[in-house]
């Protein structure tokens, strides 16, 4: 069985560019890499001991797959549903601006949007439309073919955009035995600066992929 020591991991620190935005910052690394696989990873994520090896093994076994996304838990170990169907403006308004106590009154809408009807701890799900940028394990040739993230998004929706474009060139798969813990997320409690960034990026996203209101 292959282990991470067999992969020959090395690191290189890229700095000195200032805060150029989430996607553009990742692109600086993507442009320089010559690896076989590329992991986009948030700093607020902990990996399960076998997460990366499980992801590489799945990609090795499935050459049509260009991007895998994991099972995601919160700090209490509860599942976060970070796969998404294409959102409506109303979905994003609720996500970005309503407090949790009000969002809880709309369970049916979020069941659909967050794919809770198909995402679980056991079953692989092929081709979820949108996956989270907190962990995106790519084949490097796929993400390079897509020119990485669209730099027009400073923060938010760059992962939505990249997910949808990935479907044009490769398959996307949710793999529940790749497991991570994610400590971030949730725009509504982060203040108005984040809400303004969220709204500006949502506008760019819908202008590119089409407006869906309800």
DSSP collapsed to 3 states, 32-56: HCCCCEEEEECCCEEECCCHHHHHH
Q: What class does CATH assign to 19-209?
A: alpha beta
Q: How many Å apart are CA 46 and CA 17, to the nearest integer?
A: 26
CA atoms within 13 A on the CB side of 187: 21
Structure tokens at 190: 């982060």
| pLDDT score recorded for residue 4 | 52
Is residue 49's pLDDT more than 70?
Answer: yes
Mean pLDDT of the region 174-194: 82
In this structure, are residues 89 and 194 in contact, taking their beta carbons and an 8 Å threshold?
A: no
CA neighbor of 161 nearest in space, from 147, 173, 149: 149
Residue 84 is given by DSSP the state: B
Is residue 188's pLDDT more than 70?
Answer: no
Q: How many Å apart are CA 212 and CA 50, to the nearest integer?
A: 39
Distance of CA 120 to the CA centre of its chain: 17
In this structure, are residues 84 and 129 in contact, taking their beta carbons and an 8 Å threshold?
A: yes
Mean pLDDT estimate for the chain: 90
Q: How many Å apart are CA 91 and CA 74, to the nearest integer?
A: 21
- pLDDT 10s digits, 125-157: 999 999 999 999 999 999 999 999 999 999 999
pTM of the model: 0.90
Which phi and psi angles does 46 have, rounded to 5°? -110, 135
- pLDDT 10s digits, 57-105: 999 999 999 999 999 999 888 999 999 999 999 988 887 776 666 566 5
């Amino acid at each position: 069985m292959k282990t991470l020591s067999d992969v020959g991991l090395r690191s290189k620190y890229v700095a000195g560019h200032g805060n150029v935005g989430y996607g553009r910052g990742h692109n600086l690394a993507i442009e320089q890499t010559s690896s076989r696989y590329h992991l986009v990873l948030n700093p607020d994520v902990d990996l399960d001991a076998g997460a990366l090896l499980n992801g590489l093994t799945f990609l090795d076994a499935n050459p049509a797959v260009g991007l895998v996304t994991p099972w995601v838990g919160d700090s209490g170990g509860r599942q976060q549903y970070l796969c998404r169907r294409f959102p409506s403006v109303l979905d994003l308004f609720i996500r970005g601006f309503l407090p949790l106590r009000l969002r809880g009154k709309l369970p049916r809408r979020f069941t659909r949007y967050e794919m809770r009807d198909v995402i679980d701890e056991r079953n692989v799900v092929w081709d979820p439309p949108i996956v989270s940028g907190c962990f995106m394990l790519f084949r490097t040739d796929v993400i390079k073919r897509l020119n990485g993230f669209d730099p027009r998004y400073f923060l938010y929706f760059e992962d939505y955009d990249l997910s949808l474009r990935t479907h044009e060139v490769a398959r996307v798969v949710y793999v529940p035995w790749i497991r991570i813990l994610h400590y971030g997320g949730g725009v509504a409690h982060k203040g108005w600066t984040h809400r303004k960034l969220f709204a500006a990026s949502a506008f760019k996203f819908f202008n590119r992929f089409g407006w869906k209101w309800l």
